[in-house]
């Protein structure tokens, strides 16, 4: 191959060789231990599904020490025991986390992915552990709504201005349910003697032990009975339309009555036919006996002609 020995040509070849050496040295340095590796193509990050977004992250460290039964330990009093203080602190933070988590969830999403048809009695038994921190759908009759002050964490960090303590009677039972929400539906105001039929989708937090209004001893009305109620943390609840009044005569009832009357009529017809046939039989036998008793010799002669 022809080549030139002119100064310009030689300088060009030297530049080419130097650049090649620099590039090879840089590549070698990048592969040496301790050097920042060059970025490599990676799989795209998968976005969580709607169902995953509405589920509580049960790996949360605050949930690890949370007990499913009992009242809140931290009632504002000073706790001297370090272990109890740490537990009470984690308990309040778990409470704040769930309330804030529910507040950010769209109501439609919570309704879509909540677990339905859970027997309320299961939340009083050992099996309640299976529903711990799960999103459940509950229906019942509203009984009491009370406004309560948010915890400092919810008020300062999440800008929650009000909480509502809601009590209702679970549908089909006489069991009370406690629900904490950050919003009230339209038309519902705090107060007693509520009558609306409602439904909610919220997270089962614990079996709450509380002091009820029922006196424990008639001799001492100040002592109240302690009760238990499943406690839920959510965003809000919905007012259900009133149930239609029960029909006096449903189509099934009318059909049943018609079939019954038809059956009675058929039985009456059969009995009437049976008795009538029996009457004819008895009448025939009676006539036969009368005919047998008549003898023609005993019949008197007819009277003679009248002169």
Write the pLDDT tens digit of every residue in 172-202.
Answer: 999 999 999 999 999 999 999 899 999 999 9
For residues 24 and 231, the model is more confident at 231
> Which pLDDT value is given to residue 89?
86
Could you give the C-alpha distances from 277 to 203, 250, 272, 296, in angstroms and in order? 76, 41, 8, 32
Question: Does the pLDDT of residue 288 top 80, yes or no?
Answer: no
Higher pLDDT, 3 or 257: 257
Q: What is the pLDDT of residues 117-163, one digit of tens each?
A: 999 999 999 999 999 999 999 999 999 999 999 999 999 988 899 99
Among 208, 228, 196, 232, which Cα is nearest to 114's? 232
Q: What is the pLDDT of residue 120?
A: 94
Q: Averaged over 6-33, what is the pLDDT?
A: 55
Provide the β-strand partners of residue 128: none
- Asked if 95 and 158 touch (Cβ cutoff 8 Å), the reply is no
Residue 232 confidence (pLDDT) above 90: yes
Q: What pLDDT is recorded for position 180?
A: 97
pLDDT band at 276; cut points 50, 70, 90:
low
Average pLDDT over residues 27-44: 60
**pLDDT tier, 90 (very low <50, low <70, confident <90, very high otherwise):** confident
Examine the pLDDT at 260 and tell me if it is beyond 60: yes
User: Which candidate, 137, 136, 143, 139, places its Cα nearest to that of 171?
Assistant: 139
**11 pLDDT more than 80:** no
Average pLDDT over residues 65-80: 72
> What b/e readout covers 124-157, taking b as 16+ CB neighbours within 10 angstroms?
eeeebeebbbebbbbbbebbebeeeebbebbeee
pLDDT score, position 155: 92
pLDDT value at residue 1 = 47
Which residues have a Cβ under 8 Å from the Cβ of 213 and sit 6 or more positions away? 224
Of residues 86 and 303, more confidently modeled: 86
Residue with tokens 């018609």: 258
Kindly tell me if the per-residue pLDDT of 3 is higher than 50: no
Q: How confident is the model at residue 218 (pLDDT cuts 50, 70, 90)?
A: confident
Beta-ladder partners of 230: 207
Contact 150, 103 (CB under 8 A): no
Q: Which residue would you say has higher pLDDT here, 34 or 70?
A: 70
Mean pLDDT across the stretch 229-251?
A: 82
Of 132 and 44, the one with more pLDDT:
132
Mean pLDDT of the chain: 79
pLDDT grade for 215, boundaries at 50, 70 and 90: confident
pLDDT of 83 reads 75
**pLDDT of 243 strictly over 60:** yes
């Amino acid at each position: 191959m022809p080549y030139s020995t002119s100064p310009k040509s030689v300088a060009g070849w030297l530049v080419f060789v130097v650049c090649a050496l620099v590039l090879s040295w840089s590549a070698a340095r990048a592969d040496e231990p301790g050097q920042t590796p060059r970025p490599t193509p990676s799989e795209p990050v998968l976005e969580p599904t709607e169902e995953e977004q509405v589920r509580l992250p049960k790996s949360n460290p605050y949930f690890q020490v949370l007990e499913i039964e009992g009242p809140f330990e931290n009632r504002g009093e000073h706790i001297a025991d370090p272990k109890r203080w740490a537990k009470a602190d984690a308990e309040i933070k778990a409470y704040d986390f769930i309330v804030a988590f529910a507040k950010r969830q769209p109501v439609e999403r919570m309704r879509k992915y909540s677990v339905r048809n859970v027997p309320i009695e299961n939340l009083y038994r050992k099996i309640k552990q299976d529903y711990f921190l799960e999103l459940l759908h509950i229906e019942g009759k509203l009984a009491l709504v009370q406004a309560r002050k948010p915890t400092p964490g919810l008020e300062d960090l999440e800008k929650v201005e009000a909480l509502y303590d809601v009590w209702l009677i679970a549908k089909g039972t006489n069991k009370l349910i406690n629900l904490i929400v950050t919003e009230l539906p339209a038309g519902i105001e705090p107060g007693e003697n509520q009558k609306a039929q409602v439904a909610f989708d919220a997270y089962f937090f614990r079996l709450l032990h509380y002091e009820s209004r029922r006196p424990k001893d008639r001799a001492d009305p100040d002592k109240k009975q302690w009760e238990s109620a499943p406690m839920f943390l959510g965003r809000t609840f919905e007012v259900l339309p009133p149930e239609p009044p029960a029909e006096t005569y449903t189509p099934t009832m009318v059909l049943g009555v018609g079939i019954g009357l038809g059956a009675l009529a058929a039985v009456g017809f059969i009995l009437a036919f049976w008795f009538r046939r029996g009457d004819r039989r008895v009448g025939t036998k009676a006539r036969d006996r009368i005919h047998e008793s008549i003898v023609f010799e005993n019949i008197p002669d007819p009277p003679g002609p009248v002169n």
